[in-house]
């Protein structure tokens, strides 16, 4: 059975983006507890992301590090203002997912984990 682009996004892309955001938010001085609350994940997940023990399939920071830093700054700002944190996090994750798709970063992961053989542009058509 072929793995769908949506499954790749959920299983590999989103965890990689959360990891990058967690690392950047920690660098900005946030606690693991506040990072977990903002990203809607457990403190244990944040700890594993920061230690590099989880979501190591894609190094999104080497490709979109500037965009990760911008998203983390916006999330940090929302946390400081205690205003619309959930909406800001969702919006930034969506923007990051869009960048990953536009830059074809999902394609290699998709091929490695059950994507269709040959040329594929399904992710780019959505």
As a three-state string, the secondary structure of the chain is CCCCHHHHHHHHHHHHHHHHHHHHHHHCCCCHHHHHHHHCCCHHHHHHHHHCCCCCCCCCHHHHHHHHHHHHHHHHHHHHHCCCHHHHHHHHHHHHHHHHHHCCHHHHHHHHCCCCCCCCCHHHHC
**pLDDT tens, per residue, the chain with 126 residues:** 677 888 888 888 899 999 999 999 999 999 999 999 999 999 999 999 999 887 666 677 677 889 999 999 999 999 999 999 999 999 999 999 998 888 877 777 777 776 666 666 666 565
Going from N- to C-terminal start, the domains of the chain cover 5-111
């Amino acid at each position: 059975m072929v793995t769908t682009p949506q499954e790749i996004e959920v299983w590999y892309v989103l965890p990689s983006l959360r990891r990058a955001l967690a690392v950047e938010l920690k660098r900005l001085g946030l606690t693991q507890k506040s990072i977990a609350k903002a990203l809607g994940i457990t403190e244990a997940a944040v700890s594993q992301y920061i230690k590099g023990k989880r979501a190591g399939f894609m190094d999104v920071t080497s490709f979109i590090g500037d965009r990760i830093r911008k998203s983390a700054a916006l999330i940090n700002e929302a946390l400081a203002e205690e205003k619309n944190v959930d909406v800001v996090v969702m919006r930034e994750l969506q923007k990051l997912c869009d960048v990953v798709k536009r830059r074809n970063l999902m394609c290699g992961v998709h091929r490695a984990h059950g994507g269709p053989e040959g040329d594929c542009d399904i992710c780019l058509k959505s």
